[in-house]
Amino acid sequence: MEKESILKRRAVEASEKAFAPHSKFKVGASLITEDGEVFSGSNVEPITLSLGICAERNVVFQAVGSGHKKITGIVIYTPTEEPTLPCGACRELISEFGSDAEILSFTPTSEERNTIQDLLPKELE
């Protein structure tokens, strides 16, 4: 993935800024757009939990809200043993703005690479 080491650093920094007082699950995400711009964001859990947002959705909204509608790569960091993959809602959102996006999920000790297409449900025949 283009600018992978920058994206990894930004995802770790975002995870450190996560606001997750309820779950304590601190997720950081970063992304790169087709024109090489990098964005990052974390999950945010306000008191009204249903208003909370995943790190992936936060970072996609930042990019799209800043005028970048084509995402080519997303990096997700969690300080856990197993890498974290985006939830179903985030997969759908990512696919709208990055139909071929690469997704790198990593932790201090492991990583997993997918494309968004790998993570979407397949159409019925």
Segment 11 to 50, residues that bind ligand THU, using CB under 6 A: 20, 23, 25, 27, 43, 45
For residues 125 and 120, what is the distance between their CA atoms, to the nearest angstrom? 15
Active site residue 111: no
For residues 26 and 81, what is the distance between their CA atoms, to the nearest angstrom? 13
**Residue 114 Cβ vs ligand THU, minimum distance, rounded to whole Å:** 12
Helix (H) / strand (E) containing 76? strand 71-77
1 in contact with ligand THU (CB under 6 A): no
When binding is defined by CB under 6 A, the residue of 2, 87, 96, 110 that contacts ligand THU is 87
Cβ atoms 31, 54 nearer than 8 A? no
Q: Which of 2, 34, 56, 123 is catalytic?
A: 56
